[in-house]
Amino acid sequence: MKIIRVQNPIGIEYMKEHFVDTDRDSDALCNGLKAQLSANPENILILHVWEGDALVGFIIAQNQLSTPYVFLYQAWVDSKSDPDIADKLFFRLLLWVDLLGKKEIRLETTRNTEAMTRKWKFKKVSAIMSFSIPDNFESGYTKFMQRANDIPNSGMSLENSKEISNGPE
């Protein structure tokens, strides 16, 4: 097993098929990472783990300059590989964060948060919530909001609201 720090943007291509928890397409994510690595290589940590010619793990983290933490963007380990790979990657991340003079790592995940707490003692500090806008929400907005109990019922219907005068025309 060999762990290397990726400093050449071409190395990002090897990770593309293994990106996890992303709402961007792989090409867009690759291009963004390449740009970051080219512009500020000292503020991004990309590690590859290789067994022979096979990529079996990686980690991507970025130093958030205006914050007291580093953000862990991606981490992946092939499930058929040595289970210690994740620990070795995490240890290297800890060393880098410490060298930066920071004392915190943050991440966002849609995977099992309890596993992150159990294995590495991460603490949940916030939640990202999502609201999907329904189709044609404009036509039923008042009814939608009343159903959600977010606005009181004024007693007016949408039809009555058209009859209200805004003053002389």
Domains observed in the chain: 2-110 (3.40.630.30)
> How many other C-beta atoms are found inside a 10 Å radius of the C-beta of residue 61?
24
Hey, what amino acid is at 10?
I
Please say whether the beta carbons of 1 and 49 come within 8 A.
Answer: yes
Average pLDDT, the chain: 77
**Better-predicted residue by pLDDT, 143 or 102:** 102
What letter would DSSP give residue 116?
H
129 token code pair: 């919530």
pLDDT, tens digit, for every residue of 34-80?
Answer: 998 999 999 999 999 999 999 999 999 999 888 888 888 888 889 89
How confident is the model at residue 60, as a pLDDT?
93
Q: Which of 2, 5, 10 is nearest to 96 (CA)?
A: 5
Hey, what amino acid is at 111?
R
How confident is the model at residue 116, as a pLDDT?
59
Provide the β-strand partners of residue 44. 62
% the chain with pLDDT above 90: 29
pLDDT classification of 162: cutoffs 50, 70, 90: very low
Using alpha carbons only, give the angle 102, 103, 107 rounded to the nearest 5 degrees.
Answer: 95
**Better-predicted residue by pLDDT, 142 or 78:** 78
DSSP per-residue letters across 60-82: EEEE-TTSSSEEEEEEEE-TTS-
